[in-house]
Amino acid sequence: MTFINKNKTKYKDAFMVSLPLIIGYFPVAMAFGLLSKNTSISFRDTSLLSIIVFAGASQFMALDLIAAGVSSGNIIIATFLLNLRHLVMSASLAPEFKEIPRKYLPLVSFAITDESFSVYSFNKDKISLPFVLIVNGLSYSSWVIGTMAGYAVGEILPSSLQASMGIGLYAMFAALLSPELGRSKKILHISILSSLIYLALFYSKLFSSGWDLIIAIILSSALAVAIFDRRGGKYE
């Protein structure tokens, strides 16, 4: 009975931490489906983008680049650079996944996103194969189903509602980040630094859409490493 109760607790924990992802992903994925339809991409290709790529920022950026007539080669390079952060995230989580059988690692790593990385980083003590598969499965399903639903109901929803769906992405990040801001000065300072760098690049218009985000990621990461390495990363 103790073993069964422990498993039930793990499953409940996985579902509870997945709720912000499910709630946040679905409207954003619907917005992606709507935008993709307006970009004249077929339902099949739109669905495959979410099923195979499963990277929200890259998918939205790809739509902008497609609409702007950018070549497929440049789109691939841009999305590759934007998604490089997932390599760093995976490397950071690798020690926490050491108990997970190697045959499941490709499946686990495929579904690591900015949001699931935050969930795992803040719940390291709960990480196990069932926990990770539930979080990954629920978030992935929410994104894929939301994409299809957005494309399917694109003509039904009023334009004001379509425009408001994108706010779900920011609300989701806020829900994941805000509990940690009060616990760690380091996280608070990195968040402020990253925001300022991105805002400066975005309003300077020095770079085209998508590239400002890529460069902001690189600059803020490099500065954070340099600052906290110099200080020893000792303050919390």
Q: What are the residue ranges spanned by the domains of the chain?
A: 2-165, 182-236
To 10 degrees, the CA torsion angle through 231, 97, 137, 163? 10
The Cα–Cα gap between 27 and 8 comes to: 29
Burial of 205 from C-beta contacts in 10 A (0-12 / 13-18 / 19+): exposed
The Cα–Cα gap between 138 and 141 comes to: 5
Q: Which of 169, 166, 168, 194 is nearest to 181 (CA)?
A: 194
Is 0.95 topped by the overall pTM?
no
Q: At 37, phi and psi to the nearest 5? A: -65, -40
DSSP 130-179: HHHHHHHHHHHHHHHHHHHHHHHTTTTS-HHHHHHTTHHHHHHHHHHHHH
What's the pLDDT at 7? Answer: 58
Length of the chain: 236
The Cα–Cα gap between 1 and 217 comes to: 48
Return the structure tokens found at 153. 């109901």
Q: What is the mean pLDDT of each run of 10 residues along the chain (236 residues)?
A: 53 82 86 84 92 85 79 80 79 83 85 84 83 89 93 74 61 66 76 86 76 76 74 50
Q: Which of 57, 50, 115 is nearest to 83 (CA)?
A: 57
